[in-house]
Chain A
């Protein structure tokens, strides 16, 4: 009789963990990364011909992965620069995400930021003093980013329009908006060359200023989100709009203010890219970093300090994958496959941190 009762019990039983020791959560993540590296190696083995013909070169695969970011000093600077830019966009998304406003429009907002900076430099470059130009570029970038963030926020606040799809559409509109102006500026359809005016100063190293700005921004945003009244209001609106209304938070105001901040920070990222790095613009300037930033922000549980590590990890993977495709001389999109595979594991391992799996066996012993 007892047997029948035990048969009914499912083989696997999942419960939510109340808490987890930090050691375990780090171990689980490390395990996931190791598994991800092994599986990505297998994927590469299947897809890269030079590797499947010479299996002994698999060591080179992993060496290239590291070499991509740290082969020499210049590469390391580049690694930190890429991390800073990606981190900047991720940070920009974070206030909105903490409010459960799923802004996936960082790509467009950042591109508009670049556009704001570059258009000021294009029209006024050489006509006004350099320092004034940089200030105006800065303002232009922030305004453009802010406008692009504000549009969906206003509709969300007043009509509860779905922000995920709205911001997604705005990405494409921004792309075509920029191509429109590029064709106005360079009617022949050629690329806009590098502009000579409005370059950010470069103390110590070309990339130093950008890295420093983003580092400061990380700390400031951390304090803003965790230790300020605004940060608290963002959290409450994210948890429950009813509670927010009940304790007297003006939800519409918080939504609009937070998205304004999000847009302004995207604009800042755009300013750093436009005035500090590219000094030019194409419709592809942001190059998907706006989407990657969503991943980074989410993987860090919307915590700015962890986000710095996660941005580093993702950039490390991307640069490593790039190096791999150079080492093995492969064309096409192999880096994307490698990065995608590894991301699956990093995303998936959260399950083992948040949930606990019980097997039937252990229950029997207890009985």
Chain B
């Protein structure tokens, strides 16, 4: 059953990227290329854990604990989104530079906060609540050799729901149409009467909030270790890569994330299979795979040059009404 366990593990791991890239897609559709996602994901994790540090061990209703954690994680990262939007939309700063500064700031602040929290409070007890449906009879799963099942918790399903909902919202509703118009050509959207600033702000904040949940999910549910926050930054960058892989369609991030999850964890899986002879040096080569695949997708979509697979036309540009 090793391979099945491996697939489930990859699925669960992929949920981190589903959050991250769905958030980034919503942001990018408004024309904001937010390179601060790594910092925002760290902050999402830190925000949720900060609250759990206070309520995790109390005898509060578990459902309330789960909800409060998710809510605060969302809020913490949405605040980062507000800072980013203020800088890029209101002050019209360069998005790449602002994003990089956000990453520095967010990672720094999140690490500082996480270092002060106590693992016994924020992680050990609440972990069970977050891994809800399958965490009840862990021993049974272990007997079947499917340890990873317990990692498919509440937030895993939330990720899939969010991704599907986001796709529906973007491509099937009027709000989504307006949002895409803002990302493609803000001047035209403005002329039609769409409030460009409001759309950019709201999309960026919600997008950041969703991305932040990814950080929280990774710490509290998937990894369940006190050191998890240290690897979040790398996954933030991968989430940005996954946006291209998913061709700016949130529901495709589910597929993409699973592929990424498989590519990412296969380095440890393959080296454990006895009949494939590998050396230590193969591991870094295998870990290159997700990035190489992303580049291939990027190149192929640019060669095919289909209009619906391209990045939003005004991605990365600030909008100022009086410019021509």
Contact = CB atoms under 8 A, between A and B. Distances in A.
Interface of A: 14-16, 47, 102, 104, 155, 159-162, 164-166, 168-170, 172-173, 176-177, 179-180, 183-184, 187, 189, 291, 294-295, 298-299, 331-341, 343-344, 347-348, 350-351, 354-355
A335 B284 contact: no
Given A172-B237, A294-B97, A333-B108, A16 B294 contact: no
B94 A347 contact: yes
A367 B225 CA distance: 66
Interface in B91-132: 91-94, 96-98, 100-112, 115
Which 10 residue pairs of A and B lie closest in terms of their CB atoms, listed nearest first? A336-B108, A340-B105, A333-B111, A351-B91, A183-B281, A337-B108, A161-B302, A333-B108, A179-B284, A176-B284
A333 B110 CA distance: 8
22 contacts: A155-B299, A159-B302, A161-B299, A165-B244, A172-B288, A176-B284, A176-B288, A295-B97, A299-B97, A332-B111, A332-B112, A333-B112, A336-B108, A337-B108, A340-B102, A343-B105, A344-B83, A344-B98, A344-B105, A347-B97, A348-B87, A351-B93
A334 B108 contact: yes
Using C-beta atoms within 8 Å of the partner chain, give the interface range for chain B.
35 or more
Contact of A347 (B87, B111, B237, B279): B87
B62 interface: no
B176 interface: no
A344 B108 CA distance: 14
B322 A165 contact: no
A37 to B, nearest CB: 16
B241 A169 contact: yes
Given A164-B96, A172-B288, A337-B112, A343 B302 contact: no
B60 interface: no
Looking at B35, B105, B323, which has the most chain A CB atoms within 10 Å of its CB? B105
B322 A15 contact: yes
A212 B105 CA distance: 33
Contacts of B110: 333
A177 B303 CA distance: 26
Looking at A169, A189, A295, A351, which has the most chain B CB atoms within 10 Å of its CB? A169
A362 B110 CA distance: 44
A347 B93 contact: yes
A343 B106 CA distance: 12
Nearest to B292: A173
B224 interface: no
A118 B311 CA distance: 39
Interface string B203-234: 00000000000000000000000000000000
B298 A180 contact: no
A15 B323 CA distance: 10
A299 B97 CA distance: 9
Contacts of B240: 165, 168
B280 A183 contact: yes
A76 B104 CA distance: 25
A104 B96 contact: yes
A348 B318 CA distance: 13
Nearest to B243: A165
Given A337-B108, A340-B105, A355-B92, A162 B284 contact: no
Contacts of B319: none
A295 B100 contact: yes
Contacts of A14: 320
Contacts of B311: 162
A102 B298 CA distance: 16
